[in-house]
């Protein structure tokens, strides 16, 4: 049997084993863990949905929790969403009080009538192109297959814009995150677009990989868009915000203040990554990731123009023919 066929069979078996393991986890009831923060029975309890492996979108929230800055406002039930589609379905149903995820997903939900507004933007440099190919820059990937994850990633739309404005055409192909992680670790996929901290995780698993470009920086340099793109953040259920306006305002300000303290100090920020999320992402990877993806938080009104340009670039089919600035104001909680 040829070596290539043996490698293909081994990879297929590994993927099958992972699928079986994932099914077993779901069957055992471990797919939807809930973690509790706060025990003050006099305070309201908010349901917050987030991703277990996310770093900059949520780390200031956990820092504020650990510093007891939120202890007089709310108790929290923290849920882990499975994928962007899972999050979107919960936002559309109004299930939850706070959600942490990609901005453009919340924008689409808002357009469809979901009771959601952006509270804070907390992530601006998430996506990177990495490869094990012998190339000196991203332009050298022209004509090659470049994987990306997850399907529906905003990085896809940003790179489509880049390709339209340059002579570089790459073949972008979608994968599920865990599948792509396995394929890249084994060397079966050589080039990909991934978010932090998965970028750092993959670099630790395959020494042949290197980062050759940041997607947001590339997009801004080619298109002339502002240097910061509000990629992800914390969104609030409008019904919750109306019920607790003063507490939500205090929550917002606490996260803003805490981000200023942590900005540029990835090692300290990584220390706030919750222990119960270490099964999703090791703390050493979180710390290394924060060297590339700095902690920050910005109020929506301070990024109105950037937001308008970003969601128009990611979803032109929805947002091109409308008063985008006016709509964005309704999308922001102030």
So what's the pLDDT on residue 277? 96
Q: Confidence band (pLDDT; 50, 70, 90) for 72?
A: very high
Mean pLDDT to the nearest integer, 231-254: 97
Mean pLDDT to the nearest integer, 4-10: 41
Mean pLDDT to the nearest integer, 249-256: 97
So what's the pLDDT on residue 9? 36
Q: Which of 200, 233, 196 is nearest to 310 (CA)?
A: 233
| 25 pLDDT higher than 60 | no
Specify the DSSP class assigned to residue 332. B
Q: Which residues share a beta bridge with 183?
A: none
pLDDT tens digit sequence for 314-332: 998 888 878 888 899 999 9
CATH code for 127-223? Answer: 3.40.190.10
Contact 90, 105 (CB under 8 A): no
| 54 pLDDT higher than 90 | yes
What is the C-alpha R_g of the chain? 20
| 219 pLDDT higher than 70 | yes
Distance CA 120, CA 225 (A): 20
pTM of structure: 0.86
pLDDT tens digit sequence for 268-281: 999 999 999 999 99
CATH code for 34-124+229-331? Answer: 3.40.190.10
So what's the pLDDT on residue 152? 82
DSSP H or E stretch at residue 212: strand 210-214
Q: Hey, do 34-124+229-331 and 127-223 end up sharing a CATH topology, with the first three levels equal?
A: yes
Contact 157, 180 (CB under 8 A): no
Domain locations along the chain: 34-124+229-331, 127-223
Specify the DSSP class assigned to residue 98. E
């Amino acid at each position: 049997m040829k070596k290539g066929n043996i490698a293909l069979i081994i990879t297929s078996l590994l993927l099958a084993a992972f699928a079986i393991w994932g099914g077993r986890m779901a069957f055992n009831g471990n797919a939807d863990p809930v973690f509790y923060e706060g025990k003050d029975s006099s305070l309201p309890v908010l349901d917050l949905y987030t991703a277990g492996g996310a770093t900059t979108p949520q780390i200031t929230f956990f820092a504020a929790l650990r510093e007891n800055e939120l202890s007089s406002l709310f108790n929290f039930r923290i849920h882990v969403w499975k994928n962007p589609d899972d999050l979107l379905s919960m936002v559309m149903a109004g299930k939850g009080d706070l959600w942490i995820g990609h901005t453009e997903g919340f924008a689409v939900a808002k357009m469809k009538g979901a009771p959601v507004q952006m509270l804070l933007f907390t992530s601006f440099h998430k996506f990177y192109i990495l490869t094990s190919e012998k190339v000196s820059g991203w332009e050298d990937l022209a004509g090659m297959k470049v994987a990306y994850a997850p399907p529906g990633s905003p990085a896809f739309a940003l790179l489509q814009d880049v390709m339209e404005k340059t002579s570089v055409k790459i073949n972008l192909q979608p994968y599920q995150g865990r599948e792509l992680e396995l394929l890249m670790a084994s060397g079966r996929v050589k080039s990909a677009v991934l978010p932090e901290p998965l970028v750092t995780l993959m670099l630790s698993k395959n020494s042949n990989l290197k980062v050759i470009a940041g997607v947001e920086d590339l997009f801004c340099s080619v298109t002339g868009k502002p240097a910061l793109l509000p990629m992800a953040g914390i969104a609030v259920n409008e019904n919750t915000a109306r019920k607790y306006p003063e507490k939500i305002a205090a929550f917002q300000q606490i996260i803003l203040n805490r981000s200023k303290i942590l900005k540029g100090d990835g090692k300290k920020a990584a220390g706030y990554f919750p222990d119960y999320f270490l099964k999703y992402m090791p703390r050493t990877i979180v710390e290394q990731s924060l060297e590339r993806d700095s902690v920050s938080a910005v109020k929506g009104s301070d990024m109105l123009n950037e937001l308008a340009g970003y969601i128009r670039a990611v979803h032109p089919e929805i947002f091109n023919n409308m008063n985008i600035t006016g709509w964005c104001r309704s999308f922001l909680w102030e």
